[in-house]
Structure formats: C-alpha cells, structure tokens
C-alpha cells in the first residue's frame, strides 16, 4: 500500500512538472512566433527582389502571391501579440504562419519556369526554422509537414505539367527537410524536457531547503509547547525595545508571570496535565494581552509580556487583567482549586536603565508577589534602594 501511494505521488509530481514544462514551452512558442511573424511580415514580400533576379518573367505574378499571403501571416502575428487566443494557443498561430509561408512558396513553385530547387529550398527552410527555433511538440512539426505536402501535391496536380526531374527535386528537398525537422524537433523537445526536469528538481530542492530554513528559524524563536516566543526571541525583542525607548524616550513595561501551582499539578496530576495548563495559560495571555505586546515563555513556568508604549500604571492594569482572567477561566487543574499566576511589573525608567535592570526589577517584584501568590506587584518596599 505505501508503494502504491508513493507511486501515485510521483505520478502526480511528474504530471505537475509536465504541465509547467508545457506552459513554459507555450510562452516560448508565443515569443518566438511573434518574432518570426514580424520578420516574415516584412521579409516575405521583400524577397520579390530574389524573384526578379532569378525568375523575372514570373516575378509580377509572384509579387501578388507574396502580398496576398503576407495578410494571413500578419493576422496570425497580431493575434499572437494582442489576443487571448494568442496566449492560450500560440502553437496553432505559429503553425498558421509557417503554413501560409509554405502555401505561398508552393504556388510560386508552379509559377516559375526553371529555378525549382531554389524555391523548394525556401520551402524547406520553413521546416528547418520551425524545428530548430521552436521547442513545441513534434506533433506540430508533423502537422506542418503534412499540410504543406498536401497543398504542394494539390498545387502540382492542378498546374501545368512540370518535368519529372523538377518534381523529384522539389519532393527530395522538402521530404528531406520534413524528415530531418521531425527528428530535430523530437530531439530538441526531449532534451528540453530533460533539462527542465533537472532544473525543476533543483528548484524544488531549493524550495524545500528554504522552507526548512524558515521552519528552523521559526523553531529557534518559538516555544515548542505553547507556540509563544521563546527566551531567545524574548531577549532580542527586549533589547530592541529598550534601545528604542532609550533613543526616543518611549514608555515600556515588562511583566513577568509565574504559575503558582505548576509543581503541585505535575506532582499530583502528572506532567501531561501540567503541559495542558501551560498551553492554556499561554493561550489566555496571547488572547487578552494587547495586539502589540510580545508574549513569551521564558522559563519552565514563567511567562513574559513586553508592552511597548505602556507605563508602570498601564502595565500594572494589564497584569491585573491577565491575573484575573487566568484565575477565572483556567479549569485544567480544577481538582487543585484552579490555576493562578503571580505577576511582577517594571517599566523603563530612563537614564542608565537597561534590559538587564528592567528584568531584575520585574523579577524582584515577581518574587514579592509569589510570597502572597495570585497578586500583581509593581513596586518596591519603602526605603528599598
């Protein structure tokens, strides 16, 4: 069963990769088609100079053919550039451009008198260009060859008889071009697909590595149990906010919260219940603190709240609100009379104050709160230095 699941997964990945490859080929075909169409729109009628040089007696008739066949070539090019169909099905429009060029050359072949090889070579060049400029499916090369051969055969059948050696020359040139173009196209598509697979595998590996690095970075700043910031993230945020407060005289409050009963819960109800309590308290702190606050688990049963913009009074009010919320809403250890927290609060005092001194003040006040438990302490006893 695992083997079948793995096989389906691989098939799905291959299918997705092939879809991306086809989309890439489609974009490439459209851009190549636009360039080829623009060149053909101007070059196709310009080659009349060649006609007057090698077939002056037929040049006027050929000029009309060139001008008339330039119209559908230009139309296909405009559709490639501006229409949604050109973006959705560029292969068909590129096929149309190539086919109309060959239609014109086929009609020129039955109009000339002697230089059949030169025009047959021109028809062959369309096949070679399609094979070696495009990475589209060989199916389109076969379609172009089939349509061109069909029209060429019809044109020769309904024209004045042409010498057998001339017909043989035409079919030899064009038939050889069709065969070589198909082989070249098949090789180019396989080669392009192989290169795409290697590139796609490398990009997927790079994406996986990037995701892994982001995940590792997240874990390095996140407490695994509660999903809150960890001590490393707390220290970085505290240093950052203290530096900001020192530069701009901003208010800043720090709250240290300690669970009063965690050891008792672990001893009597087990560590899984203790973990549940920690997660519940972490969720309540996150849900009831201010949106701009940094909430972290900075020790086994100790949480920290960093409140930028809050003074000592606002920090104390926040601490009291959080203490009351935890006391009223935490039920995971109701068998022990509920869960409570003690809170110590300190604020930025300016001057020579620092992250270390703020934490020392908050920790000292937390220690005083722990004496009574389930209280908030935001000051020092009279006469304390």
Q: Which CATH number fits domain 231-377: 3.30.70.270, 3.10.20.30, 3.40.718.10, 1.20.120.160?
A: 3.30.70.270
Predicted pLDDT of residue 216: 66
pTM for the predicted model, two decimal places = 0.60
Six token digits for residue 106: 């086929």
Predicted pLDDT of residue 267: 83
The domain ranges of the chain are: 2-207, 231-377
pLDDT tens by residue, 72-124: 999 999 999 999 999 999 999 999 999 999 999 999 999 998 889 999 998 99
Task: Provide the terminal-to-terminal Cα distance of the chain, rounded to the nearest Å.
Answer: 72
- Low-confidence spans in the chain with pLDDT less than 70: 1-13, 215-220, 330-337, 382-385
Predicted pLDDT of residue 338: 72
pLDDT tens by residue, 279-295: 989 999 999 998 889 99
Predicted pLDDT of residue 83: 95
């Amino acid at each position: 069963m695992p083997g079948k699941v793995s096989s389906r997964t691989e098939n799905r990945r291959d299918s997705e990769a092939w879809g991306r490859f086809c989309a890439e080929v489609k974009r490439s075909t459209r851009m190549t088609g636009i360039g080829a169409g623009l060149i053909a729109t101007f070059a196709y009628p310009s080659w009349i100079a060649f006609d007057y040089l090698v077939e002056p007696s037929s040049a006027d008739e050929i000029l009309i053919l060139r001008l008339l066949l330039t119209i559908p070539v230009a139309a296909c090019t405009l559709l490639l550039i501006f229409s949604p169909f050109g973006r959705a099905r560029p292969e068909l429009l590129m096929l149309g451009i190539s086919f109309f060029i060959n239609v014109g050359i086929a009609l020129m072949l039955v109009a000339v008198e002697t230089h059949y090889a030169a025009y047959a070579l021109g028809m062959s060049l369309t096949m070679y260009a399609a094979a070696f400029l495009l990475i589209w499916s060989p199916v389109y090369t076969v379609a172009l060859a089939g349509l061109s051969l069909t029209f060429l055969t019809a044109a020769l059948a309904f024209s004045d008889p042409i010498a057998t050696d001339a017909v043989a020359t035409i079919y030899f040139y064009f038939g050889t071009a069709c065969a070589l173009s198909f082989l070249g196209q098949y090789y180019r598509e396989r080669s392009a697909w192989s290169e795409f697979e290697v590139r796609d595998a490398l990009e997927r590996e790079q994406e996986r590595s990037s995701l892994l690095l982001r995940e590792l970075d997240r874990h390095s700043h996140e407490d695994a149990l509660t999903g809150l910031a960890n001590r490393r993230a707390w220290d970085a945020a505290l240093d950052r906010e203290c530096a900001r407060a020192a530069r701009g005289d901003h208010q800043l409050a720090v709250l240290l919260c300690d669970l009063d009963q965690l050891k008792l819960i672990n001893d009597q109800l087990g560590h899984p219940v203790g973990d549940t309590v920690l997660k519940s308290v972490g969720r309540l702190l996150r849900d009831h603190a201010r949106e701009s606050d940094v909430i972290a688990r900075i020790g086994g049963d100790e949480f920290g709240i960093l409140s930028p913009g809050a003074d000592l009074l606002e920090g104390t009010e926040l601490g009291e609100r959080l203490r009351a919320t935890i006391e009223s809403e935490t039920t995971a250890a109701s068998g022990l009379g509920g869960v409570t927290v003690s809170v110590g609060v300190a604020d930025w005092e300016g001057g020579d104050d620092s992250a270390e001194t703020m934490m020392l003040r908050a920790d000292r006040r937390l220690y005083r709160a722990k004496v009574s438990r389930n209280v908030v302490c935001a000051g020092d006893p009279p006469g304390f230095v």
